[in-house]
Amino acid sequence: MTRSADSKTPQVAQSVIAAGLTRLGIEAGDAVLVHSSLRSFGHVVGGPDVVIDALLEVVGHRGVVVMPTLTLGASENPVAFDVRNSPSTSGRITEVFRKRPEARRSHHPTSSAAAIGRGADVLTGYHIDTPCGLTSPYGQVYLRDGWCLFLGTAWHSNTMFHTAEEIAMPAYLRMAEFRDTTLIDEEGVPHAVAFRRYNCYQSGVQRDLEKMGLLYEAAGAVRHTRIGLSECFMIRARDVIDITVRLIQQSPEEVFSYCTTPQS
């Protein structure tokens, strides 16, 4: 890592990022769900592609990298989702990642994810109904005993938390159903589909994912390192699931607050 002559901003190279990922404990063959902020590093020499290349280098040809490519804020009257062209709202790295020729993107109209690596077709191929169930790319990372990686992002971006919710199926977990939806597939062919999305505000629930992060930390499940200026951390998907499901079932008041007048 070097610094430019006219700036104190670190110049972060692919080798620096790869070394940081290795320090966290990512190994060849791993499945890694990545939440990312490009600007958190300082200046990445080569931009988003360098972060992606570092991830792919470390997991190797037997591993797989997964990134959320959410389309939150998309038109809802009706919903229309183009697998090839609908931009990701999950950050610059995810947008570059999903456009790579080798990337496979799932078909959930608001909660899609893209994957590159071994088994990417299967990992993304069954994601059309709920946002984060076991057949989604997020659930598949859990089933592959993978990792949740946070590159300069906070716990509020922890998608795996929602997989735990779909496993536990608490009473508050309400879904809004969308039937009049157009999905345009990889070949440009439109399809009429139905899907569901979380609608928990109707039950007056507010989740505190940052507080959940403190519980993961207290359990000793989180690894930390610094890459450039980026504070990075990682946790096993199974630890997120186990800790979250247990808490939802036993003491949800620790991380959920309820409005006094839930929506009907």
User: What's the confidence (pLDDT) of residue 202?
Assistant: 66
Can you tell me the mean pLDDT for 87-99? 97
Please report where in the chains the tokens 């959940």 appear, as a residue: 212
Inform me whether the pLDDT recorded for 262 exceeds 80: no
Return the minimum-mean-pLDDT range out of 1-15, 65-79, 89-103, 232-246: 1-15
Helix 14-24 with 48-59: angle, nearest 10 deg: 40
Omega before 170 cis (within 30°)? no
Higher pLDDT, 6 or 255: 255
Residues 102, 241: Cα–Cα separation, whole Å = 29
* Residues in contact with 210: Cβ distance below 8 Å, sequence separation at least 6, in sequence order: 154, 155, 156
Which stretches within the chain are classed as H helix?
Answer: 14-24, 48-59, 92-99, 120-124, 137-143, 160-168, 209-218, 237-250
User: What's the confidence (pLDDT) of residue 225?
Assistant: 98
Residue 95, amino acid:
E
Q: Give per-residue pLDDT as tens, 107-128.
A: 999 999 999 999 999 999 999 9
In this structure, are residues 43 and 4 in contact, taking their beta carbons and an 8 Å threshold? yes
Write out the two tokens for 107. Answer: 């078909």
Q: Which of 224, 189, 232 is nearest to 84 (CA)?
A: 189
This prediction has a pTM of 0.93
Residues 60, 62: Cα–Cα separation, whole Å = 5
Inform me whether the pLDDT recorded for 2 exceeds 60: no
Ranges of each domain in the chain: 2-258
Q: Give per-residue pLDDT as tens, 188-231.
A: 999 999 999 998 766 677 888 999 999 999 999 999 999 999 99
Residue 36, amino acid:
S
Inform me whether the pLDDT recorded for 179 exceeds 60: yes
46, 119, 161, 214 from 221: Cα distances, Å: 32, 27, 14, 10
- Percent of the chain at pLDDT > 90 equals 80
Can you tell me the mean pLDDT for 9-17? 93
The pLDDT-based confidence of 5 (bands split at 50, 70, 90) is: very low
* 31: phi then psi, degrees, rounded to nearest 5: -100, 125
Q: How far apart are the first and last CA of the chain?
A: 54
**Average pLDDT taken over every residue of the chain:** 92
In this structure, are residues 243 and 217 in contact, taking their beta carbons and an 8 Å threshold? no
